[in-house]
Structure 1
């Protein structure tokens, strides 16, 4: 670079920093800020109203410790549809019966899809064909799965057929508590065992926990594993607010959830393998349990694992221990 060019550049900088030029620089900066804000406002004109958003974090701090209470306050101030931004993610909240009906019934075809949390994007899981709760679009796979669940798993006939099983398990628990008169009984553990065995009978036609005494590593391990899944699923994930960090897994939630998910699948893997080897398609009769339904519809082990996990979540959500 020649000396003349350097001197010329220095002169330009000197002129820019001259007080007489300062108003022009400020005017240019203000014009740029105005253009950016105007563009942002135009993009947000079609959104419902909502509380003022902070840069970068949006409305995260507005949620408070009781988000449902915060939403009720914002609904009074801004109306039944509220626009929020949690990190970089836009969220629209409906808080009136009319808004709920519009979202869940009138526009359900367009709004039934879900954004999959970063911690639940397990490998081998195609959510659009294997999940009712976390499908990203309501395609044919989702519709077929919904029809299967409605007709085979959660129909009135299926639920009625399970009534005797529920009565039997509750009766066993009542009899167990009665037989321990005068002794210390952990009602929480007994209820957990009863509910869990009821669920595994619906899924596999067998108890996973032997007896109601809740002793040994099997029962305690199952309860700990189930509680851990619930706890990890409820942790706010930075990667959900800022998807750019999803690959980094900054809180190790994906790694921990995947490990726990695989441990849960390992519990029933032998039962699936055994049933697959001995399964005979029902000739016009009703399937024996959920696993029979999955096998008769040609699901592979990955699909069955995920569906069993989701059926468990829908039918049984334990209270994590403090």
Structure 2
């Protein structure tokens, strides 16, 4: 009894003593903080800081906070300082002026678990390992030469899409589902050597992207990790990780078995998995390039190439249907360039400035990743006159920048014409348009994604007129989104397609 009372009394007695000891430390810490010029920051709650202010749609919540506290503001997610940037000028300082300083990625709980300890390109910490796997992926999959070599794959899958729509015979078509299938087939062929009609795998990819966009409380307040368990987040992550692991293991084993039988084909026939297995063999003594690295890179290619690409075409078609005059102008352009050919080719697209303007405007309003993948400062640095400590995370709100009324006239309106006499592009050199990020950690797959977007969109509007089912008016089209790492339409795009010729 005495022992138990002692255990109860000790914390009560020791807590005031500890508090008294901490007060001078806190005072000194606060004093040193005042010497630094810190960004404005909204008030924060004990323990969780500003986590509650992220809301259910973080890019919108952060834009609203920025309207009050400025385009460069500091949040505290638990004890983690997070600089939130919502201006093109500040984004340029992060991604260009101080590109090297901010080239690291913070270690985030869910991405780390789903990407085999952050062994993928997107979330790997900055360093030699990241440089090597990025170089491998760019050279063997994403270089201009390799992207051009996949032209027949893109054209074949586009023809298949057109044929599927034709077979609908004027009935309602789930265009969203067919676009996901198209992009998944393109990625499957170049990464795995075959197309995939595996609906289960597509479901895995959707769940993967959704979970990557979920804020884990345990990432920012480790001792509150039980909240993630209570939300079912841990269970969902573990289940998905196991299912993805089984899928990738089967793919790798299939490739290894073919190679043992001498059926690996020549170098030109090698897909990404073959190439990664070759690299692994060459680096047998390098323990960092193991089976998990292969799975992480393949996962990156699928998640980055499927959902982001299909959602961009889906949003573009939705906006064109909502704006019949824009659709008509685009159809006129592609028809004039095609000159009666049965299909638009990639050579034709170079003469379609309005098509390119439509895609730029789509990416401005519907940026695939509204909050770019977070960066982390590797050293103390000054940004826009504010002093940031090493370890500060940075979140760039590309969605808010793309809708900034100080940059864009009629910022909320879909007006592709704004890009006809405007050299702003999305390749990472214009910070008012950042759908693929910029700098060292910018997306290396820009050309791969854009080549699919342009070809598919050009052929869809060339071959068909589109209407909404059941006499629905275009202004009634549901444009609400489903938030994850990638923002997709909440409701699938259901259309009735009528052949134009």
TM-score grouping bracket, smaller chain normalisation: 0.7 to 0.9
* Matched ranges for 1:32-111 at <5 A: 36=26, 39-40=29-30, 42-43=32-33, 45-46=35-36, 47-111=38-102
Higher relative contact order (CA 8 A, sep 6+): 2
Say yes or no: does 1:314 pair with 2:296.
no
Instruction: Tell me, in whole angstroms, the C-alpha distance in 2 between the residues paired with 1:294 and 1:153.
Output: 11
Question: More displaced, 40-49 or 193-202?
Answer: 40-49
SS in 2 for 1:57: coil
**Cα distance, 1:109 vs structure 2:** 2.1
Say yes or no: does 1:164 pair with 2:152.
yes
Q: Residues 124 and 159 (structure 1 numbering): CA distance in 2 closer, same or farther, change over 3 Å?
A: closer
Partner of 2:206: 227
Instruction: Tell me, in whole angstroms, the C-alpha distance in 1 between the residues paired with 2:121 and 2:152.
Output: 28
Say yes or no: does 1:266 pair with 2:246.
yes
Q: Residues 166 and 236 (structure 1 numbering): CA distance in 2 closer, same or farther, change over 3 Å?
A: same
Say yes or no: does 1:194 pair with 2:174.
no
Number of residue pairs the alignment of both structures matches = 282
Q: Residues 204 and 123 (structure 1 numbering): CA distance in 2 closer, same or farther, change over 3 Å?
A: closer
Instruction: Could you tell me which runs of 5 or more consecutive residues in structure 1 were left unpaired when the two chains were aligned.
Output: 1-28, 210-217
**Cα distance, 1:76 vs structure 2:** 4.9
Of 117, 127, 132, 1:144 maps to 132
TM-score by length of 1: 0.74
Instruction: Tell me, in whole angstroms, the C-alpha distance in 1 between the residues paired with 2:297 and 2:120.
Output: 7
What is the RMSD computed on CA atoms of the aligned residues?
3.3
Instruction: Tell me, in whole angstroms, the C-alpha distance in 1 between the residues paired with 2:115 and 2:50.
Output: 34
Instruction: Tell me, in whole angstroms, the C-alpha distance in 1 between the residues paired with 2:99 and 2:80.
Output: 21
Instruction: Tell me, in whole angstroms, the C-alpha distance in 1 between the residues paired with 2:101 and 2:73.
Output: 19
**Cα distance, 1:156 vs structure 2:** 0.8
**Cα distance, 1:313 vs structure 2:** 1.4
Q: Residues 169 and 72 (structure 1 numbering): CA distance in 2 closer, same or farther, change over 3 Å?
A: same
Say yes or no: does 1:297 pair with 2:276.
no
Alpha carbons 2:40, 2:69 under 8 Å: kept? yes
Cα deviation digits, residues 153-177 of structure 1 (max 9, x gap): 2111111112221111011111122
Alpha carbons 1:173, 1:190 under 8 Å: kept? yes
User: As a proportion of its length, which structure holds more strand?
Assistant: 2
Alpha carbons 2:217, 2:224 under 8 Å: kept? yes
Instruction: Tell me, in whole angstroms, the C-alpha distance in 2 between the residues paired with 1:113 and 1:287.
Output: 35
**Cα distance, 1:257 vs structure 2:** 1.5
**Cα distance, 1:311 vs structure 2:** 1.2
Instruction: Tell me, in whole angstroms, the C-alpha distance in 1 between the residues paired with 2:124 and 2:39.
Output: 25
**Cα distance, 1:321 vs structure 2:** 6.4
SS in 1 for 2:95: helix
User: As a proportion of its length, which structure holds more helix?
Assistant: 1
Q: Which has the larger radius of gyration?
A: 1
**Cα distance, 1:267 vs structure 2:** 2.6
Q: Residues 182 and 66 (structure 1 numbering): CA distance in 2 closer, same or farther, change over 3 Å?
A: closer
Instruction: Tell me, in whole angstroms, the C-alpha distance in 2 between the residues paired with 1:30 and 1:44.
Output: 22
Instruction: Tell me, in whole angstroms, the C-alpha distance in 1 between the residues paired with 2:275 and 2:106.
Output: 28
